[in-house]
Amino acid sequence: MSFEWLHPVLIATALVLAAVGAVRRVNLWRAGQADQINLIAGLMAMPGRYLHDLHDIVERDKYMSKTHAATGGGFVLSAVLIILVHMLGINSQILAWALMASLVLMFVGALFVFKRRLDPPSRISKGPWMRLPKSLLSFAGAFFVLTLPAAGVLPEGTGGVLLTLFLTALIIWGMGELFFGMTWGGPMKHAFAGALHLAFHRRQERFGGGRSTGLKPVDLSVAADQGSVLGVAKPTDFKWTQLLGFDACVQCGKCEAMCPAFAAGQPLNPKKLIQDMVVGLAGGSDAKFAGSAYPGKEIGNAKGGPNQIITEGLIDPETLWSCTTCRACVEECPMMIEHVDAVVDMRRYLTMEKGSTPNKGAEVLDNIIATDNPNGYAPASRTNWAADQNLNVLSDVKETEVLFWVSDGAFDMRSQRILRSFVKLLKAADVDFAVLGDEELDCGDVARRLGDDATFQSLAKRNLETMAKYKFKRIVTTDPHAYHCLRNEYNDLGFDGLKDVEVLHHTTYLNELVQQGKLKLDNLSAGTVTYHDPCYLGRYNGEYEAPRELLRSLGVEIAEMERSGFRSRCCGGGGGAPITDIPGERRIADMRMEDVNTTGAELVAVGCQQCTAMLEGVVEPRPEVKDIAEILAGQLIEEMH
Amino acid sequence: MQHKQTEQRFANDLNIVSLISVGKHPQSGRERRAEQDGRAVELGMSLNAENLTVLHAGDPQQNALRSYAGMGLNSIRVLEMDPAADAIAPLSSYLKQHSPDIVLAGVRAESGESSGMVPYQLAEQLGWPLVSRIADIISVEGGVAEILQALPRGQRRALKVRLPFVASVDNAAQEARQSAFGPASRAALDLQSTQSTTDVIRDEWSEAPARKRPKRLKKVKATTAAERFKAATAKAQSDGGKVMKNEPAAEQAQAIFDLLLEEGVLR
């Protein structure tokens, strides 16, 4: 082949340009706020995280995981070998053969990418992503031919000027996409940003099978400083690790496919949200976005920049308020991007700086501030529901085995049925338990999801101070939202009152009692039964089994919905969504009830009063909705004395 | 409810003072932004946010003041005094000194005496007209304000009042906008010390929660569903009364005296 000098120069040029782009991109991320991350440890752990944590999620789609392993693995190996063989000119047949093998691997992978893009599902982005498989094929193909002489298959100098020019054109295209495009914002950016995102993820606890779902507290000590901003107003108000995370998005749209608000036709698409964040951090408009729009909104009108207010031009606040914080997007994201953190960060600005929580938001927050419950009931009436229950109150007994956290369900007549059932079961199992009575306050969940972290922190601190006065070993609650706050969010506030306390959901605790034989239960014959996983119990806390075991202990064979377990669809009741009530085409609860109906169930078992309220709000005829505690209490064999 | 974004409907030279007090939540008894005073601030902000003075006479440490500030105020002026003292004197001397165009206040406070006398006494001391229970100020032109006064059952009365005047703001006025924590924390409290006199009479009182007053039963003589519905929903209207405008004063006084006798107020 002619022009011996050409290809090394081209490769070196592409690499230098890629390095320049990398520096430029890194500077975009560094415009964010400081974050405590161990850079070296992160980088060291990165390959392992790619192979395990990330790959485990991709593995849910076998076709894609094999395709990606071949393409990505083949490319990384090829890139290293190309530098050795073609740029540095190391003359080794072994290296050349290894390079050819890895290029074949990459080529085969790319063929499968190509095949999937022939008839792509609506969730994945088109546009530049449609050319990616062709770029991969030309990169792998051209370098393969180029390596033949080095491997000794073809004599040196085979082919004329035309072939060389043709191969050179393919190589420029391939390297343009794969080296240059990786740092200058093409589809391959996901590899560069994604690798670093895995290294410097804001929630390092998530790796190695861990769970990290509690929202990070706002630093309120700066609230009174002139010029300070609570929450995220501009892209640069995010932590730099969050900006990096947004940039890692591969636009696979798995989040979009799972998002209940998107399916309901509310103006939210988690994928578009993340891409809008990328528009924000890099500056520009969303005109080039080649995926699904926010339902009801057109693409091309959003403009933003690193120092521009996000909700003034880039994102409509309605988009942020549509989120139910169900975490289905986060659970599904192969890049482990934290959508919910971003949504709540921006809500915090809207609530704590702009005072623009929509619909009933302001009223509910005012009520919580004035009465410690969202509906403005008299605080002294909190324990009225238990007037006939003869419960121990901690202010009297001071010490107990189990603190029963009643939650705001105390004020709601439907939820009170759940509370009574649970009390009946506790009494039947002879558990030493007590309640806080009127000393209990709202746990702060709603205030926090609505962006009012000041009110959340105030409630949490007062609750912690109350609990610090008493002795107990465990907290059990029937409300997964309170469960999440107590278990995962109260610990960030500088109190260690709950350090040695085990926080449990009532299904976990009841399951324990049943396993220990402390509850005698009759079998249930209620026809077909299905179980709805509450988001804050399942995805937020990983409890999928206890409620199912309880149902099985009643002799029930659960007819599982297609979307159950970690893929459970939200009931629409989380994140303050019923309060902000952003209009859509359908109601999320109706869609969930359709899921239930496809199983033919006559009874939906639920483990959350909010889910109960949402699902019972669906017009009849529909299956009966009951909390697990209610079902169990109904089957209790009471011993006669 | 979405509040109207109608900030600055008028020229910037209009000077408005909204008076605020410490409210009390009816269920928890906790201190808060008072409902009607919040509306007075909202109305003031929508008229002229630039030249609005939000004024409180009492304890500057009071946390409830912050919830007014959270509506987006840069500062709150506080005439520092014992919260139990009479606020009329310091307020009226402040208002005399600064002579604003409009003074807005709630109809009555949610705590303390809650007599609803503050706007009346201020108007008397200043020698200004008082407009009670207003719902909105439509326009201010040539020194005359066009005002909507709230009447029962959603009725409104259009009034024209010459500046300056004092107005009490009814529950029918635009609801106060949401209070945000950030601006609430950052607002400046602009303190002024005052000479206040102890309210000697009030000192002798003891406070107790109010008892619910018995309601007079309505006689329902309805024969149709529509009438029953009206009887159930309508506020008691003052029917059977009469308007006496042109009669001599003695005759008017006699009519009032007779009514008081009839109602058993006088024996």
Sign of CA dihedral A469, A474, A475, A476: negative
Cβ distance A356 to B178 less than 8 Å, yes or no, reads yes
Q: For residue A595, what are the contacts with CB-CB under 8 A and spacing of at least 6?
A: A561, A562, A563, A569
For domain A373-513, the question of CATH label 3.40.50 is answered with: yes
- Comma-separated ranges of CATH 1.10.1060.10 domains in chain A: 230-352
Cβ distance B71 to A355 less than 8 Å, yes or no, reads yes
Residue A424 carries which side chain, given as an amino acid letter?
K
Helices A132-147 and A62-82 pack at an angle, to 10 degrees, of: 40
Asked whether the predicted pLDDT for residue B8 surpasses 60, the reply is: no
Asked whether the predicted pLDDT for residue B11 surpasses 90, the reply is: no
**Quick check: A273 and A342 in contact, CB under 8 A?**
yes
Identify the H or E element spanning A241: helix A240-247
DSSP A53: I
Asked whether the predicted pLDDT for residue B6 surpasses 50, the reply is: no
Average pLDDT of chain A?
95
| Torsions phi, psi for A575 (to 5 deg) | 65, 20
In this prediction, residue B7 carries a pLDDT of: 44
Q: For chain B, which residues make up each domain, given as ranges?
A: 16-203, 237-262
Would you place residue A183 in the very low, low, confident or very high pLDDT band (cuts 50, 70, 90)?
A: very high
| Torsions phi, psi for A43 (to 5 deg) | -65, -40
Cβ distance A378 to B180 less than 8 Å, yes or no, reads no
Asked whether the predicted pLDDT for residue B2 surpasses 70, the reply is: no
Q: What is the CATH number of domain A6-200?
A: 1.20.950
| A632 token code pair | 């169990």
- Looking at the complex, report in whole angstroms how far the Cα of residue A15 sits from the nearest Cα belonging to chain B: 47
What is the average pLDDT across B224-233? 81
Write the pLDDT tens digit of every residue in A541-582: 999 999 999 999 999 999 999 999 999 999 999 999 999 999
In this prediction, residue A572 carries a pLDDT of: 96
Asked whether the predicted pLDDT for residue A1 surpasses 60, the reply is: no
| A108 in contact with chain B, both atoms CB, cutoff 8 A | no
In this prediction, residue B154 carries a pLDDT of: 84
Cβ distance B28 to A379 less than 8 Å, yes or no, reads yes
What is the average pLDDT across B94-102? 95
- Comma-separated ranges of CATH 3.40.50 domains in chain A: 373-513, 520-634
Asked whether the predicted pLDDT for residue A144 surpasses 90, the reply is: yes
Considering only CB atoms, B180 lies closest to which of A228, A351, A371, namely A351
| Torsions phi, psi for B50 (to 5 deg) | -70, -45
**B→A interface, C-beta within 8 Å:** 2, 25, 27-28, 30, 32, 67, 70-72, 177-183, 185-186
In three state form, how does the secondary structure of A153-204 look?
Answer: CCCCCCCCHHHHHHHHHHHHHHHHHHHHHHHHCCCCHHHHHHHHHHHHCCCH
Best to test chain B binding among A219, A311, A371 (most B CBs inside 10 Å): A371
How many C-beta atoms surround the C-beta of residue A404 within 10 A?
A: 28
DSSP string, A524-557: P--SSEEEEPPTTTTTTT---HHHHHHHHHTTPP
Would you place residue A68 in the very low, low, confident or very high pLDDT band (cuts 50, 70, 90)?
A: very high
- CATH superfamily for A230-352 is Alpha-helical ferredoxin (1.10.1060.10)
Cβ distance A376 to B27 less than 8 Å, yes or no, reads yes
Would you place residue B212 in the very low, low, confident or very high pLDDT band (cuts 50, 70, 90)?
A: confident
Asked whether the predicted pLDDT for residue A89 surpasses 50, the reply is: yes
Write the pLDDT tens digit of every residue in B183-206: 999 999 999 988 877 778 878 888
Asked whether the predicted pLDDT for residue B244 surpasses 90, the reply is: no
Cβ distance B25 to A225 less than 8 Å, yes or no, reads no
DSSP string, A400-422: -SEEEE--GGGG-HHHHHHHHHH
Best to test chain B binding among A369, A452, A462 (most B CBs inside 10 Å): A369
- Looking at the complex, report in whole angstroms how far the Cα of residue A342 sits from the nearest Cα belonging to chain B: 19
Q: For residue A522, what are the contacts with CB-CB under 8 A and spacing of at least 6?
A: A554, A635, A636, A637
Contacts of B4 in chain A (CB under 8 A): none
Write the pLDDT tens digit of every residue in A162-181: 888 899 999 999 999 999 99
In this prediction, residue A502 carries a pLDDT of: 96
| A579 in contact with chain B, both atoms CB, cutoff 8 A | no
Would you place residue B5 in the very low, low, confident or very high pLDDT band (cuts 50, 70, 90)?
A: very low
Please tell me the least confidently modeled range out of A612-621, B163-172, B210-219.
B210-219
Distance CA A206, CA A202 (A): 9
Distance CA B167, CA A19 (A): 69
Tell me which of 1.10.1240.10, 3.40.1160.10, 3.40.640.10, 3.40.50.620 is the CATH number of domain B16-203. 3.40.50.620
Identify the H or E element spanning A275: helix A270-282
DSSP A562: S
In this prediction, residue A640 carries a pLDDT of: 61
CATH architecture of A520-634: 3-Layer(aba) Sandwich (3.40)
| A622 in contact with chain B, both atoms CB, cutoff 8 A | no
Would you place residue A438 in the very low, low, confident or very high pLDDT band (cuts 50, 70, 90)?
A: very high
- Looking at the complex, report in whole angstroms how far the Cα of residue B42 sits from the nearest Cα belonging to chain A: 13
DSSP A489: I
The listed range with the strongest mean pLDDT (A35-39, A532-536, B3-7, B139-143) is A532-536
Distance CA B132, CA B117 (A): 11
Q: How far apart are the first and last CA of chain B?
A: 49
- 3 state SS of A244: helix
Q: How many CB pairs under 8 A join A and B?
A: 63
In this prediction, residue B239 carries a pLDDT of: 62
Would you place residue A150 in the very low, low, confident or very high pLDDT band (cuts 50, 70, 90)?
A: confident
Asked whether the predicted pLDDT for residue A600 surpasses 50, the reply is: yes
- Looking at the complex, report in whole angstroms how far the Cα of residue B27 sits from the nearest Cα belonging to chain A: 5
In this prediction, residue B117 carries a pLDDT of: 94
Asked whether the predicted pLDDT for residue A341 surpasses 90, the reply is: yes
Q: Could you tell me how many residues make up chain B?
A: 267
ipTM, two decimals, is 0.91
**Quick check: B156 and B42 in contact, CB under 8 A?**
no
Identify the H or E element spanning B146: strand B144-150
| B52 token code pair | 């609005």
